[in-house]
Amino acid sequence: MGNVTLVIDGREVSVPKDFNIIEAAKRVGIDIPALCYDPNLEIVGACRLCLVEVEGWNKPVTACSTRVQEGMTVYTETEQLIGLRREILQLLLDNHPNDCLTCQKAGECLLQEYAYRYDVKFREHDGDRRRALVDTSSPYILKDDSKCVLCGKCVRICYQVQDRQVLSFGGRGFDTKIVVDADLAFEESSCVSCNRCVTVCPVGALVDKRVLGKARPWDGDIKGVKCKACDYGCNFEVLSKNGKNIAVRARSPLKGRPLCLKGRLMTEFIYLDEPEVPYRKEDTQFVETTWEEALGLEGVLMKLSKDE
């Protein structure tokens, strides 16, 4: 693959010609804002935050879906672009609960980060806001529709694994939301609690319930570990505070790594000082289970006890 050379905000960079402008900008330390873009997911150009200007082109283009070209000159932070981003962010905040103080995602939330970067604040208005529709039915995932920015990353990442096509867009216009199967609660749905969707949600709309209230990113230490349950070796993080390992959460899966509940529970069991009770799905209900069953060890243990 050949390289092309372009200039972004006055910095020259040479990158492979299949790069998009976001990837090229990253190479020279420029972070173009984007809520719906993820390098591992199909590109949809939905949030419009990554608009950039290209010299000689008559209107701004989305940096996620525009390939680099030889000799291109790109501007990522002009007055016009900053104005557009501020408008988009203001509309998002106008329809968002002012809950950063207690939100599990605070400190890692992209909406919070961009609102800070572009100095956009919550404001009073007479229009509608998304209703707080919180699904607490799963012991593994908390879904809060009022915080969703409809980036669609959760839908795209759930669809990447066959037989896990659980999430989709439902409703219309202002009432559009992410639905689980035919708008069911997580507990009643076909969700397998792999938490892929949680790992890519840029805001606090999907959060890991087993981490909830225990720690936020600045609050303790985070160590990356690999799952030992199978050859995929999916990536997890162990969160610790005051010298104790208190929670495990899944990391965004790379291509070909599926993530699964069994791997997550095994990682919890191995690393946590006080692992929480595991749950399994029985028809349309989560029920407490034993660690032996959660880790699929019942048969092995039975065989061992017979052999003694």
Asked if 269 contacts 275 with a C-beta cutoff of 8 angstroms, the reply is yes
89 is a site residue for ligand SF4 (CB under 6 A): no
Please tell me the distance from the alpha carbon of residue 12 to that of residue 261, in angstroms, as a whole number.
Answer: 45
Shortest spacing between CB 104 and ligand SF4, in angstroms: 8
13 is a site residue for ligand SF4 (CB under 6 A): no
111 is a site residue for ligand SF4 (CB under 6 A): yes
DSSP 271: H
112 is a site residue for ligand SF4 (CB under 6 A): yes
Classified as helix, coil or strand, 222 is strand
147 is a site residue for ligand SF4 (CB under 6 A): yes
Among 4, 51, 201, 215, binds ligand SF4 (CB under 6 A): 201
167 is a site residue for ligand SF4 (CB under 6 A): yes
DSSP 20: B
Contact segment (CB under 6 A) with ligand SF4 among 9-17, 128-136, 152-160, 271-279 equals: 152-160
Contact segment (CB under 6 A) with ligand SF4 among 14-22, 77-85, 107-115, 234-242 equals: 107-115
Say how many residues touch ligand SF4, by CB under 6 A.
Answer: 38
Which residue shows structure tokens 């969707």? 197
**Site residues (vs ligand SF4, CB under 6 A):** 96-97, 99-100, 103, 105-106, 109, 111-112, 147-154, 157-158, 164, 166-167, 178, 191-197, 200-206
